[in-house]
Amino acid sequence: MKFLIAASDTGTYGFTLLAEDGQVIATGRQYPDKATALAVVADMMREIGGAEIEEGPEPAEPTGTPPSRTVDGEPDLARIGRSGIPPV
């Protein structure tokens, strides 16, 4: 992995963490100068080994009744995306 430090058009500096294959793993925010961006990267490199892993909440179960897919007992193909023509 490597950190890429880059200047923006506004004169601020940010960083991107890249995998060995060049894929972006993470992107940092913009900092007012290169020294600050480098200091943040140095802090991350020093502290990352002690980082904890925390899981987020489980996705909520869907609630309610799905919308009707029929009109007068017949399938409404326009509402389910199979036709742009309203049912006759």
The residue extents of the domains of the chain are: 2-49
Q: Cα–Cα–Cα angle for 45, 48, 54, nearest 5°? A: 155
Which position has the token pair 């509402």? 79
Which residues, other chains included, contact 44 with Cβ-Cβ below 8 Å and sequence gap of 6+? none
Tell me how many helices (H) and strands (E) the chain has: 1, 5
Q: 2-49 belongs to which CATH class? A: alpha beta
Mean pLDDT of the chain: 83
The listed range with the strongest mean pLDDT (2-6, 73-77, 80-84) is: 2-6
Please name every residue paired with 26 in a beta bridge, in sequence order, or none if there are none: 17
Which position has the token pair 């500096």? 13
The whole-model pTM stands at 0.57
